[in-house]
Structure 1
């Protein structure tokens, strides 16, 4: 990403040493976990506790105040019934530590945290029933409602002007469109950007503001089966894209990413929308922006993934997870058009009753 710098590449030995020095933990198992910009390790300590060691990229590590707000938000959500991770203090009582180490790029500063490990599997690995889609929409809305009540001395850090993944900054994509040169997809992305300019930008003064998780995607939602074998959401991961945004942004992001995992993507919108509206009914301005914002998030995901692959070719498999399917879904949604897609979503959403 343009606003990222070095993605850390700590060896298992370096990670093990960090755990011992910062947390006085001896590991029995440590293994890498997939990541986009940062580096994550699964950790099983000799006391039987499970953790995730998270090492931030060198760019984000330069803003510890922002990471402090994100870390607090996770704890605040956890205290208010949302299954988010919490940070484990270091031996000196700090929730994060800035470490200067060389992991192949010369000495860089990396912000390190040890987070609780949440059991479960990603929602992408289980059947996406209507009930689970409904619950995902409901959870996204509940999360944003809780975050909106949060107070913190550094909360203004979440404004994040110019943050490339904020849907408020979609027009920044125009300078990355060269990564699609020669592909028909480029014309579709240009058309969506124009739709955003005419449909969404004029409505921003009327949209309800909030704090967004910003990346409520199919790899950041964990589920577990209950005693009836029905999957329930058991964890929400990765608050690195938190930003001051709008409620409708979170809903659009949730719909877009879950669509990439569904055999009939257009069906996703109605069930997720119904779950969302059980907590936060949309107003007319929000409803009118939803189609354009879902397509806009597809464009962000596709263009920025291509750009990231240019920067990190060795990480292509992970970076392109959503992108490969997303190309076809975006083009289908664009061909179907706003009126048709909205009708499908709204008619489907209307069939749901509030949960008993």
Structure 2
């Protein structure tokens, strides 16, 4: 088999993006402006539909040939457009996320809350497959939270994930020598097991971050003590369980979220639902995502293999089981 054509093609693909940045071989980029598209309705006034999907992070997502904006970047950009357009009277945020980093989740919460306070435009959340942990955290400022009948939500809490390789190094006879300025400078190192003292220090950090989450849940949802005790177990809930315990307001579909946003905004039933994207979809509808060409995940024989990668060390408002979806 002659592999020369494949080598030439690979070289062209590697060189061409740097030589001709204006040629869009792999879809839109973060430098392309967001544009408005109507996905539903023909009447007066607008409801802006904003997508919040995937693992929540503040860093851009890096693909093989290009990067795309992070969820924080995109949500802040779309909220700004919705704020500047006087015809936009309300916002629906579609959430399908297992959560993410504590900071990204908190930034999204802050930006959505600040948008509401600046504009007095109502915000409705529509949950899809998963809106857990940081995904639920970001939903808290909404005036109304709706979940799909099959949504999984909850997981209110914090998890600290860090890879450990010290056992493997011991097996192959490799060590890491560390010089440090303070006793706890290398706490959490993947090259050694945690001491009881280090475990206690980490637990104190986790408890502090979890208490912030609990405080915000209580502020926005006003749960009874017995309800809050169940929520603090960090378990996940079905939509019906979440409604019963008070984490959400309604079970329904995205069209019900549009109807609620129109009602809260004083708009007619046929008012427009618009989205902000860099790409145009043929036969557009509310279920399309914000960007047609997201960077690919690592794959094995065409199957997403991102779940085999070790987690980046850090504190997360995340449901770990949802990260493999």
Flag whether TM exceeds 0.5 (same fold).
no
User: Shorter-chain TM-score: what band?
Assistant: under 0.3
Q: Structure 1 or 2: larger strand share? A: 2
Asked which structure has the greater CA Rg, the reply is 2
Higher helix share: 1
Query: What TM-score do you get using the length of structure 2 for normalisation?
Result: 0.25
